[in-house]
Amino acid sequence: MMLLLSPSAGRVSARFGPRWPMTVGPLVAAVGFLLLGRLGPDSAYLTDVLPGILIFGLGLTTFVAPLTTAVLAAVPDHEAGLASALSNAFARLAQLGSSAALPLAAGLGASTAVGPGEFAAGFSRAMLISAAVLVVGSAIAFLTIRRGGDEPVVQLASLTQGCGPSARRGRAPFGAARERRALSQTAQPEAARPQTAQRRAP
């Protein structure tokens, strides 16, 4: 699902900014966790498991691409590689930490794995905790991320050229201001050369 829908999520983020996708996406994923929290020993895959997985995947796809855009847009273009590396590193650390902390918070352990019905109850608690964390993350994104019109959008970066223009009106390409300053600095000495040559001519 992420492979199919991530380009569309990137286009939405490029047009409206990352604030709303990063606010709505976690809420949609939280609904998926709530649906998965209703699973029991007699749940069917097509009617009980699959809808929760699809909704969670839709929410995840909605905010992953805008998250990367927001991280890269928050730093100068020459530090985009460092920002991307730090974002990926913290994402992996968060996955490891949640894998260790979530079972403890939900009361899952070696004893619950063999007890009748205890694992299902612990799994439901884990899904509720995950949904609550996503709701908190959605609120943080809404309160801390700037509005779409204030965010520069990173597109088509290369080593020799600034990123492509934003889909929003009036937005210059990312890095274009620095390129214009560099071109103006190189153009000024060249413009002064003919005047100097005319002064020296007899």
Answer whether residue 182 is part of any domain. no
The amino acid at residue 15 is R
* pLDDT for the residue 190: 53
Grouped pLDDT means (10 residues each) for the chain, 202 residues: 79 83 93 92 89 93 85 82 88 87 81 65 89 94 72 48 46 50 60 52 52
Answer whether residue 173 is part of any domain. no
The answer to whether the CB of 40 falls within 8 A of the CB of 137 is no
- Distance, in Å, from the CA atom of 81 to the CA atom of 179, rounded to the nearest integer, reads 19
Full residue range of the structural domain in which residue 21 is found: 2-150
Q: Given the structure tokens 């460092």, which residue do they identify?
A: 82
Answer whether residue 181 is part of any domain. no
CA distances from 176 to 11, 51, 85, 97, 172 (A): 21, 45, 24, 40, 6
Answer whether residue 54 is part of any domain. yes
CA distances from 61 to 21, 130, 156, 186 (A): 9, 17, 20, 44
* pLDDT for the residue 35: 94
Domain count along the chain: 1
Answer whether residue 168 is part of any domain. no
SS3 143: helix
Answer whether residue 156 is part of any domain. no
